[in-house]
Amino acid sequence: MTKFGRYYPLIDGHADTLVKNYEEGGTLTKYTPGRHLDLPRLQYARVDLQVLAICATSRAEPYRWARRVIDYWQAEYEQLREEMIWLKSRADFEAWEEGGKIGIILALEGLEPLEGKLARLEEFYTLGIRMLSLTWNGMNPFASGVAVREDPGLTPLGKECVERAESLGMILDLSHLGRQSFYDLMELVRKPVCVSHANVYAVHPHRRNLTAEQIRLVAQAGGTIGLTFYPPFIKEGEVSARDLIPHLEYLLAEGGEDCLALGSDWDGIDQTPTDLTDVTRINYFLKVLEDYGFKQHTIRKLAGGNLYRFLAQKFTEIS
């Protein structure tokens, strides 16, 4: 029996807090003004696991920059070992399940740090990266993002990278991919993938949101889609928690309840819904869904049950 027993954990699949702290000053160890999360607030919200992304897009010397961010995290982690556990192996995952610590997964958001050198994928794996997306919004040696007007799809190097990442047991995140790159990747993969943070194009036609076909492909492959809190991905004008409900209803209709997840994008966004101002409001959001009429088991799957299942499968493949 895991520490979760009969209840689902609370898991958030994407935040940029680590990079924001590294570049602007701050720490996870204590309350940091101007941030959406830190250790005290994660504990208050009873978050069980948080994915922290490292996005090197537009940084000079992205390889060296990403290495410095990881060094910064390692120093932070030394101060957080009593409260957090960095998930790098099956043993780490099992220890997280049994213990009372907050799990942390490190992700590369875009493969700019590889600088076109596939051998660096294993280097970053050795450094503790367990999740990756191929690109941010633009084009790189691996794939094209949503800002590329005519996406040519995955490059040969990108296809090789996907195969190598799968063989390592790394988690593939399709967020930010252009349509053709997305479809190329889905044709190539043999294991479930995730979209860590995106909403629904049919509800609000933003280029970062997913079409019905994309939703179905991820869901049918056993993957998850993280509902995200960035207002421009939700609707025009002022946004509140209730405005996420049409996106959730559409995900349910097209992908089913087993694809639902959370991907806040905390500290990667410059605005939030008026009543979802930081991580301490996440349980308020779940209560909004309950009051609206969503079933408890659906809310629990969204809150972390599905990501827990997805991650448990992934970490069985990592020694």
Which tens digits make up the pLDDT trace of 265-277?
A: 999 999 999 999 9
With respect to residue 2, please indicate whether it lies within any of the assigned structural domains.
no
C-beta separation of 253 from 266 below 8 A:
no
Residue 6 within any structural domain of the chain: no
Decide: 14 and 55 in contact? Cβ < 8 Å: no
Domain for residue 257, yes or no? yes
Task: Band the pLDDT of 1: cuts 50, 70, 90.
Answer: very low
> How many structural domains is the chain composed of?
1
Is residue 31 one of the residues assigned to a domain? yes
Question: What CA–CA distance (Å, rounded) separates 32 from 41?
Answer: 10
How far is CA 147 from its chain centroid?
20
Provide the mean pLDDT of the chain. Answer: 97
Which position has the token pair 């049950």?
305
Looking at residue 78, its amino acid is E
Give per-residue pLDDT as tens, 65-95. 999 999 999 999 999 999 999 999 999 999 9
Residue range 176-181: mean pLDDT, rounded: 98
Residue 124 lies in a domain: yes
Task: Look at residue 17 and tell me if it is in a domain.
Answer: yes
Residue 107 has pLDDT above 50, yes or no: yes
Q: Categorize the per-residue pLDDT at 3 as very low, low, confident or very high, splitting at 50, 70 and 90.
A: low
Residue 11's nearest CA partner among 97, 126, 72, 69 is 97
Tens-place pLDDT, residues 277-295? 999 999 999 999 999 999 9
Q: 49 and 14 in contact (C-beta within 8 Å)?
A: no
Instruction: Using the predicted structure, report yes or no on whether residue 7 has a pLDDT greater than 90.
Output: no
CATH of the domain at 179: 3.20.20.140
Q: For residue 4, tell me if it sits in a domain.
A: no
> Which pLDDT band, with edges at 50, 70 and 90, does 137 fall under?
very high
Q: Is residue 1 part of a domain?
A: no
The average pLDDT across 168-181 equals: 98
Question: What pLDDT is recorded for position 5?
Answer: 54
Choose among 312, 313, 287: nearest CA to 300: 287
pLDDT band at 99 (very low <50, low <70, confident <90, very high): confident
Domain range spanning residue 129? 11-315
Give the pTM. Answer: 0.97
For 195-220, what is each residue's pLDDT tens digit?
999 999 999 999 999 999 999 999 99
